Amino acid sequence: MSSSRGGVDVVTEALTELHGRYGALSEGRVADYIPQLAFADRDCFGLALMSMDGHGYRAGRCGVSFTLQSLTKPFVLALVLAELGADEVARSVGAEPSGEAYNAISLDALTGRPANAMINAGAIAVTALVPASGPADRFARILECLGRFAGRALFVDEDVYRSEAATGDRNRAMAYLMRGTGVLRGDPVEAVDVYFRQCAVRATVTDLAVMGATLANGGTNPVTGERVVPEPVAVQVLSVMAMCGMYDAAGSWMLRVGLPAKSGVSGGLVAVSPARFGIAVHSPPLDAVGNPVRGVAALRELSERFGLHMMHNAAPVAPTVLGSTTTSGGRIALIAAQGRLDFTAAERVLFALEQRRTGPPGGVVLDLERVSGMDPAAKAMLERALTLLIEAGHDVTVVGDLPFRTRGAWRRSADRAQALAAAEQALTATGDRPPATGRDH
Ligand code: GLU
């Protein structure tokens, strides 16, 4: 996103800086075990970031399309999880980091299941699970789903598909093994053929950033606004990516970068900062475990520089409770909250309410006018806290029109002044008791 006046914005500037610095890295080998991949330009290097608000930023060569290869795995897993649910999928594939290479014959000795859906064996099993009337229909559904994640129709690179189909005996062998263990139903050759086609779907690094941002955004594409998969599915996929997405380097990636991610042998890498953005890098040379050298280096720096590690303190930045004061001579407590309420933010409000609950009965005005939304969990916590206040003998008024699931015994009020007046009136009507502290007399 460059502007015509005064150069570029700060995010583009940071991406451009990373592009400049890591473009100079010359290590790594372009994959050639799929012969057609060897033709990739090793100097091609692009970075793209898409925020969950749909703001896009780019640096380097971002218009070049490349085959997604393993980068399709999380998105096809999402499709299958959305269609069949996690329990059904778990019958065919595990969710354990294998700590092994992408093409490892990693089947559980007891169940015959592949360790996870991010390595080839697991991905082939997952692809075979896509409900369809036959292989052509199955692939059509996969292609459509990948397109919805990217926000545009995607296409297959027939040369790369044929190149892998002609050489991919190891994957076929794994499919046969999985039929032997009962994990794969149907024809192994057919299953692998759909998988090869899926791997040969082309996209740009910009598309890939949108795909990542869709997962960051809980399954809704931030550019098209389309819900691609339900929110719990996005959470499940990100969990698997976090544990298993970076081949046998998944552990050190989590330690140093700390974002769910997936790489592919074509040199693509997508990382997701949940509830923030998707970022993608494309640069063909790979390190010894098959991850793109420049992509790993650039994301490591980006994560450190901007404090993006998932385990970083993610508590809401702004205070939740704006004010907790008493009026009317200490008889009425006014507690105002702001922002979106999740568990942590709700706990802050509850803490303020609790201070009041344990004191002598009086009026409590909870002003939620500046609360922009609530998680279901936060709503339930708040409802329970209000009920407890009432049970303790307090007169409760809620300001703001956030929908509560049940209508409690608390008063609703359109604005704060009205709420305070109503609380005052109620206390007078019930012949209120003097406050225990006597501070205001
Ligand atoms: N099509 C590739 C394979 O199955 C994908 C591997 C990857 O990108 O990790 O070998």
The CA distances from residue 362 to 274, 321, 352, 382, 437, in Å, are 42, 20, 15, 19, 12
Interatomic CA distance for residues 325 and 318, integer angstroms:
19
Atom from ligand 1 closest to the CA of residue 120:
4
Atom from ligand 1 closest to the CA of residue 164:
1
Based on the domain organization, do 64 and 89 belong to the same domain? yes
Give the N- to C-terminal CA distance of the chain in Å, as an integer: 62
Interatomic CA distance for residues 267 and 289, integer angstroms:
12
Strands, E assignment, 355-436: 363-374, 395-399, 411-413
CA of 251 to the centre of ligand 1 (A): 20
CA of 60 to the centre of ligand 1 (A): 25
Atom from ligand 1 closest to the CA of residue 264:
8
Per-residue model confidence (pLDDT) at position 438: 33
Write phi, then psi, for 198 (nearest 5 degrees): -60, -45
Which residue do the tokens 């069949």 mark? 84
The HSE-up count of residue 332 (CA atoms within 13 Å, CB side) is 23
Which stretches of the chain score pLDDT less than 70?
1-6, 313-317, 402-407, 431-441
Which residue range forms the structural domain that includes residue 39? 10-306
Per-residue model confidence (pLDDT) at position 404: 65
Mutate to test the pocket of ligand 1, among 102, 119, 201, 248 (most ligand atoms within 8 A of CB): 102
CA of 413 to the centre of ligand 1 (A): 59
Interatomic CA distance for residues 192 and 164, integer angstroms:
10
What is the tens place of the pLDDT at every residue in 345-401?
889 899 999 988 988 999 999 999 999 988 888 888 899 999 999 999 999 999 987
Based on the domain organization, do 57 and 183 belong to the same domain? yes
Residue 435 counted as domain residue: no
CA of 371 to the centre of ligand 1 (A): 46
Interatomic CA distance for residues 395 and 337, integer angstroms:
19
Residue 5 counted as domain residue: no
Helices and strands per DSSP (H, E), number in the chain: 15, 13
Atom from ligand 1 closest to the CA of residue 290:
9
Based on the domain organization, do 101 and 191 belong to the same domain? yes
Give, using CA atoms, the residue closest to atom 6 of ligand 1. Answer: 70
Looking at 244, 272, 306, the residue that finishes a domain is 306
Domain count, the chain: 2
Q: Are 365 and 420 a contacting pair, CB within 8 Å? A: yes
> 396 by DSSP, 3-state: which?
strand
Give, using CA atoms, the residue closest to atom 4 of ligand 1. Answer: 120
Mutate to test the pocket of ligand 1, among 124, 192, 199, 244 (most ligand atoms within 8 A of CB): 199
User: Are β-strands 56-60 and 268-273 bridged in parallel, bridged antiparallel, or unpaired?
Assistant: unpaired
Mutate to test the pocket of ligand 1, among 265, 270, 282 (most ligand atoms within 8 A of CB): 265
Atom from ligand 1 closest to the CA of residue 123:
4
Residues with CB under 6 A from ligand 1: 69-70, 102-103, 120, 164, 171, 199, 264-265
Q: Cβ-count burial of 340 within 10 angstroms (0-12 exposed, 13-18 middle, 19+ buried)?
A: middle
Q: Are 361 and 433 a contacting pair, CB within 8 Å? A: yes
Based on the domain organization, do 292 and 372 belong to the same domain? no
Residue 354 counted as domain residue: yes
Residue 15 counted as domain residue: yes
In this structure, the dihedral spanned by the alpha carbons of residues 308, 263, 20 and 254, taken in order and rounded to 10 degrees, is 30
Based on the domain organization, do 183 and 259 belong to the same domain? yes
CA of 354 to the centre of ligand 1 (A): 55
Interatomic CA distance for residues 44 and 265, integer angstroms:
14
CA of 94 to the centre of ligand 1 (A): 19
Residue 4 counted as domain residue: no
Based on the domain organization, do 338 and 195 belong to the same domain? no
Burial code (b: 16+ CB inside 10 Å, e: under 16) for 403-412 equals ebeeebebbe
What is the tens place of the pLDDT at every residue in 318-345?
788 887 788 878 899 999 999 988 888 8
Task: Find residue 58's DSSP bridge partners.
Answer: 48
Interatomic CA distance for residues 429 and 424, integer angstroms:
9
Atom from ligand 1 closest to the CA of residue 103:
10
Based on the domain organization, do 141 and 227 belong to the same domain? yes
Give the ranges where 182-333 is alpha helix by DSSP (H).
Answer: 188-199, 205-216, 231-244, 250-256, 293-306
Mutate to test the pocket of ligand 1, among 34, 98, 266 (most ligand atoms within 8 A of CB): 34
Based on the domain organization, do 166 and 285 belong to the same domain? yes
Per-residue model confidence (pLDDT) at position 403: 63
Write phi, then psi, for 258 (nearest 5 degrees): 75, 35
Based on the domain organization, do 415 and 284 belong to the same domain? no
CATH of the domain at 181: 3.40.710.10
Based on the domain organization, do 341 and 242 belong to the same domain? no
Based on the domain organization, do 158 and 69 belong to the same domain? yes
Per-residue model confidence (pLDDT) at position 434: 44
Q: Are 48 and 209 a contacting pair, CB within 8 Å? A: yes
